Amino acid sequence: MELIALRKRKKIAERGGELLREKLDALMIEFFQFAREITALRAKTQDILQRAYLKFIEAQMLMGFARMEEAALTAQDRFEVEASTRNVIGVSIPYAQVKIKPLEGYPYPMIGTSAKLDEAVATMSEAVKSVAELSAAEAAIVRLAEAIAATKRRVNSLEFIVIPRIQNTIRYIEMSLQERAREDFFRLKRIKTRLEEEEAEAQPEPIAA
């Protein structure tokens, strides 16, 4: 009964290993896909931020630092981040999206400000969206990397610890059963031989003529 149970456990473990390897392959595909997305998002974010900073520098040169600081203090908070998660092969992946609320009037006083400031603000709004997408993608790739490492550990545990132990136990039980079968065979053979000898001894000797 133990041998039958172990053979079933071995089949289940092998099937589980196959499923985990399939999951690992799928996770690796998702990981490299996110890696490519991050590379593109990072380049895009750096480009937008660079353009935004340059426009702010140009606006500061036209308006002066004090006027820029005053306009920044009176600017409206228009950004709203919507965070959620989605399931990818059993892994919870974060997702973030930035929504820009509509203006309630003009964001800062028009007197003493430059059109360069308007351009800088518009460019920075794009940068905020891109930064949120990049941060979500980087958080996602971290979770995928953790899931890949955990799945690899489980696959290795099955392949190099669990299944070999079951196989060794199965071999031990099979050898024990074979040894027991040989012992039973020789025991039965000795019993048969002894019975034949006893039967021969019990037969009466033939009477001489």
Residue 102's pLDDT band (cuts 50, 70, 90): confident
Is residue 71 included in any domain, yes or no?
yes
Structural domain contains residue 204: no
**SS3 annotation, the chain:** CHHHHHHHHHHHHHHHHHHHHHHHHHHHHHHHHHHHHHHHHHHHHHHHHHHHHHHHHHHHHHHCHHHHHHHHHCCCCCEEEEEEEEEECCEEEEEEEEEECCCCCCCCCCCCCCHHHHHHHHHHHHHHHHHHHHHHHHHHHHHHHHHHHHHHHHHHHHHHHHHHHHHHHHHHHHHHHHHHHHHHHHHHHHHHHHHHHHHHHHCCCCCCC
Lowest mean pLDDT among 49-53, 103-107, 170-174: 103-107
> Is 75 within a domain?
yes
Mean pLDDT computed over 174-197: 84
Range of the domain at 42: 23-142
Give the rounded percent of residues in the chain with a pLDDT score beyond 70.
91
Confidence band, pLDDT 50/70/90 cuts, at residue 66: confident
**Is the model's pLDDT at 59 over the cut of 60?**
yes
Domain-embedded: residue 49: yes
> Can you tell me the distance from the alpha carbon of 166 to that of 168, in angstroms, rounded to the nearest whole number?
5
Max Cα separation, the chain? 152
Structural domain count, the chain:
1
Beta bridge partners of 91: 88
**Any domain includes 165:** no
pLDDT of residue 157: 93
Report yes or no on 9 lying in a domain: no
Residue 208 has pLDDT above 70, yes or no: no
Say if residue 155's pLDDT is above 80. yes
Is residue 169 domain-resident?
no
pLDDT tens-digit profile of 106-117?
666 666 677 888
**Arithmetic mean of pLDDT, 170-174:** 90
**Looking at per-residue confidence, does 98 or 41 come out higher?**
41
Task: Tell me whether residue 180 is in a domain.
Answer: no
* Mean local confidence (pLDDT), 130-159: 92
CATH number at residue 116: 1.10.287.3240
Asked if residues 45 and 130 have their Cβ atoms less than 8 Å apart, the reply is yes
